[in-house]
DNA sequence: GTTTTTGCAAAGTATTTGCAAATGG
DNA sequence: CCATTTGCAAATACTTTGCAAAAAC
């Protein structure tokens, strides 16, 4: 695979991911793209998701209990995994990146290129269903 | 699955994981246990790894490029993934846990139960092969 | 004796791949 | 035209599961 050539399908996949925040699986993307390209195959979706991830234009997120999920956000950020509904939310931790990397790298003779924090718990919606509490906005959680 | 009953196979799996630091896959554990129980099946290994992970006695680590890996360490810690050789190393970030969780939870109306940091880069051994540099010990990296 | 666990094999998911036809440049 | 991408289907990789026999208690 030498030079990348344009393809309508890949462009559609790229836009689809850029326009959503729900960290879909390959299959979810496939179902969506089929509305525009009824004949697209799941294999093509997988191929393009892999390619885009390699190019750093999207991010692949592996979770322990289901298929991989994909994230259209390019800039580094963190993720929250809800153990109730399985949803994945974005977090942006302010200013901790350098601190973390500096602390971890101190005396480590390998090279650290990047890092992400994975949070686990119960998302606002699921917690609300359990307790009846109200959901308010906050500064780290990115809608 | 009401009460847990002892089994020699499960005990062997538990001990195997406790005695190694290389974050093996289910198959690697299987090959090892077979030395002691030549008839053990891969299914049994998977069943017990799942069970032990549920009980919190081991940890399951999902990586984006290969099968799941397992970690016998019970207390919370972080992981480093080498993009060259695929190895997984343990990190113990001193005292950042509370800071991270506090910062992320500020104003977040869900519940955060825990978190781990994933580092990506090149491990000491691979870097050494590339540059010829020497490997020294450090304070965060756990041998 | 009753319940849990095992080994085996088959099934289930998720993802990748080979290949001829279609598309892009 | 030549290189890349596609759709399709088959193949692969990983993990789970049904069931009768064995082990644990």
Q: What share of chain B is helix, strand, coil (3-state, %, to 5)?
A: 35, 20, 45
Q: How far apart are CA B11 and CA B50, in angstroms?
A: 14
Which residues partner with A45 through β-bridges?
none
Co-location of B106 and B83 in the same domain: yes
Q: Are residues B82 and B113 in the same domain?
A: yes
Asked if the Cβ of residue B105 lies within 7 A of any atom of strand D, the reply is no
Lowest average pLDDT, out of A27-41, A58-72, B64-78, B98-112, goes to B98-112
Q: Which nucleotides of D are covered by protein (CB under 7 A)?
A: 3-10, 13-18, 23-25
Q: Which of residues A52, A71, A90 is at a domain's end?
A: A71
d(CA B5, C1' C4) / Å: 6
Q: Among partner residues A107, A113, A134, which is closest to B121 by beta-carbon distance?
A: A113
- Please tell me whether residues B55 and B101 are part of one structural domain: no
Q: What is the pTM of this model?
A: 0.88
The stretches of chain A forming alpha helices (DSSP H) are 8-18, 26-33, 42-54, 96-105, 124-131
H-helix segments, A81-142: 96-105, 124-131
**Do B129 and B92 share a structural domain?**
yes
- Say whether both A63 and A27 belong to one domain: yes
Chain B residues in contact with A93 (beta carbon < 8 A)? 100, 103-104
Domain holding A112, by residue range, is 75-143
Q: Measure in Å the smallest separation between the Cα of A39 and chain B Cα atoms.
A: 28
Euclidean distance between CA atoms B111 and B101, whole angstroms? 10
Beta bridge pairs of residue A116: B118
Q: In terms of DSSP bridges, do strands B88-91 and B78-82 run parallel, antiparallel, or are they unpaired?
A: antiparallel
CA of residue B81 relative to chain centroid, distance: 11
| DSSP conformation class of A107 | T
Question: Alpha-carbon distance B89 to B78, whole Å?
Answer: 8
| A81 and A66 part of one domain | no
* A13 in the same domain as A45: yes
What's the token pair of residue B94?
């001193």
Contact A119 B112 (CB under 8 A): yes
CATH of the domain at B44: 1.10.10.10
Dihedral sign for Cα atoms in the order B133, B134, B138, B143: positive
Residues A105 and A86 in one domain: yes
> How many distinct structural domains can be found in chain A?
2
CATH (domain of B130): 3.30.1490.190
Taking only the tens place, the pLDDT of each residue in A79-120 is 999 998 999 999 988 665 578 778 877 889 999 998 899 999
pLDDT tens digits for chain B (143 residues)?
566 899 999 999 999 999 999 999 999 999 999 999 999 999 999 999 999 999 999 999 999 889 999 999 988 899 999 999 999 999 988 665 578 778 877 889 999 998 899 999 999 999 988 776 544 444 455 54
Q: Give the tens place of pLDDT for each residue, B47-66.
A: 999 999 999 999 999 998 89
Residue with tokens 């200013």: A95
Of A68, A111, A118, the CB nearest to B127: A111
Model confidence at A132, pLDDT cuts 50, 70, 90, reads low
Q: Which residues contact A43 (CB under 8 A, 6 or more apart)?
A: none
**According to the model, what pLDDT value does residue A4 have?**
85
């Amino acid at each position: 695979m030498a030079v990348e050539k344009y393809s309508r399908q890949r462009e559609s996949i790229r836009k689809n991911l850029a326009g959503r925040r729900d960290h879909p699986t390959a299959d979810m993307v496939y179902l969506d793209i089929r509305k525009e390209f009824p004949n697209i195959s799941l294999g093509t979706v997988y191929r393009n998701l892999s390619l885009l991830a390699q190019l750093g234009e999207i991010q692949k997120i592996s979770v322990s209990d289901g298929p991989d999920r994909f994230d259209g956000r390019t800039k580094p950020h963190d993720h929250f995994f809800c153990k109730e509904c399985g949803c994945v939310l974005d977090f942006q931790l302010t200013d901790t990146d350098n601190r973390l990397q500096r602390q971890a790298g101190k005396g480590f003779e390998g090279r650290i290129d990047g890092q992400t924090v994975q949070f686990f718990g119960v998302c606002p919606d699921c917690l609300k269903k359990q307790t009846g509490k109200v959901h308010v906005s906050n500064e780290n959680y990115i809608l």
